[in-house]
Homo-oligomer: A and B are copies of this chain.
Amino acid sequence: MKSREIHLTQHFTGKVKPEYFEMTEIDLPDPGEGEIQVKNAWLSVDPYMRGRMIGIKTYVDPFQVGGPMEGGAVGQVVKSKADGFAEGDWVMSMHGWREGWTAPAAGITKIDANLLPAEAYLGVAGMPGMTAYIGLKRMIDLKPGESLWMSAGAGAVGTAGIQFAKAMGANVVATAGGAEKTAFCTEIGADAVVDYKAVDDLAAAVKTAAKPLGGVDAYYENVGGDHLQAALDVIKPFGRFAVCGMIARYNDDTPLPGPTNLTQIVAKKLTLRGFIVSDHFDLQGQFIQDLSGWMMAGKVKTRDTIYEGVEKTPEAFMGLFEGKNIGKMLVKI
C-alpha cells in the first residue's frame, strides 16, 4: 500500500506558510510481528500542533524536520500481525498527517465506530472534548447556576465546552467571530453570544450580555490578547480562569505584551490555571460516562469543518489560525 504523507520542511516562528510543508509518497512496509497496517480515514489538525513546529521543546518534543508529522487520526486496520487487532478494526493513533501507516500496535487505541461516528473520537469524544471537560470540571470546578464565558465558542473545544457547561447546569456567554459562528453558538445552547469582530469594546459587550445571567463567574481561555484583557475586566471577584490556549498569540513573530490589567488578579482575587489534557487522563472514565449520558439525552450536538484529501492537511491547519472552522477541523481521506 502506498501512502502520501506531509513532512515539515523547517522549524519556524511567525505566520504559518504553505512552504513549511511538503508531501511525499512512500510504500508502506508490511507489518512485522506485533505490528499493524492502518488506512487512515480522518485526520485531526489542532492549534497545539503549532508549538511543535517552533523547534524548541515545550511540553512536547518538536516535530522532526523531514519526517512525517504526528497528530490524531482514526482509521481501519488493513493488515495485522498483532494480537487483538483484526482487519477492519477501527483504531485511533497519533500517526496523522498521512494516508496510512505501519507501526507497532502497542499504544494504539481501538475505538467503537458503532457507538459514535469514527471522527467523533477526534472531536467531542476525543482530545478537544476531554480538554473542554477538564477545563470546566477540574480547573474551574463549574457549579450549577454559575455563568461561564467560553471564548472561541465555535471552535472544537468551545462547542464542546458550551454544551458541557449547559449540561452541568451552568449559564454560558460565548464569544466567536462572525454571524455564522455566533448563530452556531446560540444553536448549541449558549444563553448569550457576542460577535467579537463586530464590537469595539469587548469587555463592555460581554458585561452587557452577561448581565441577565448575573455576571461572569468563570472564563475559559482559548484566545489570549484582547480576550484575556477583557476577561480580567469583566470577571467577578473570586473568578476562575481555565487557561487552555492562547491561539491569538501562537503566530506572533515577536512576543507581544500581555494585558495592562493584570493587577486585577490581586484586586479580584482570581485564580488562573493553565493545563494540558495529557496530565489529566485520570478523569477519562468520568468524562466518557458523563458524555455518554449527555449524548443519550440529546444534549450534545457536533459539527465538523471538513477538508478532503491528505494534501489539504496544511491548508486545514492554517485555517485554524484564520478562524475558518466551525466545530472540529478535520481532514477526510
Q: Assuming the A-B contacts A271-B272, A272-B271, A273-B271, are A245 and B262 also in contact, with contact meaning beta carbons closer than 8 angstroms in the complex?
A: no
Considering the complex, which residues of chain A in the window 240-286 have a beta carbon less than 8 Å from any beta carbon of chain B? 243-246, 249-250, 255-276, 279
Is A161's beta carbon under 8 Å from chain B?
Answer: no
A59 & B263 in contact (Cβ 8 Å cutoff):
no
Q: How many copies does the complex hold?
A: 2
Is A228's beta carbon under 8 Å from chain B?
Answer: yes
A interface size (C-beta, 8 A)? 35
Q: Which listed residue, B224, B245, B259, B273, touches A257 by the CB 8 Å rule?
A: B259
Is A237's beta carbon under 8 Å from chain B?
Answer: yes
A269 & B275 in contact (Cβ 8 Å cutoff):
yes
A269 & B59 in contact (Cβ 8 Å cutoff):
yes
Q: Assuming the A-B contacts A224-B262, A262-B246, are A59 and B257 also in contact, with contact meaning beta carbons closer than 8 angstroms in the complex?
A: no
What's the Cα separation between A262 and B274 when bound, in Å?
A: 10
Q: Assuming the A-B contacts A258-B257, A259-B257, are A272 and B265 also in contact, with contact meaning beta carbons closer than 8 angstroms in the complex?
A: yes
A263 & B237 in contact (Cβ 8 Å cutoff):
no
Residues of B within 8 A of A59 (CB): 237, 267-269
A267 & B58 in contact (Cβ 8 Å cutoff):
yes
Q: Assuming the A-B contacts A269-B59, A274-B270, are A256 and B260 also in contact, with contact meaning beta carbons closer than 8 angstroms in the complex?
A: yes
Is A72's beta carbon under 8 Å from chain B?
Answer: no
List 8 contacting pairs A-B, 8 Å CB cutoff, sorted by A. A224-B262, A243-B265, A243-B266, A257-B259, A265-B274, A268-B274, A271-B273, A271-B274
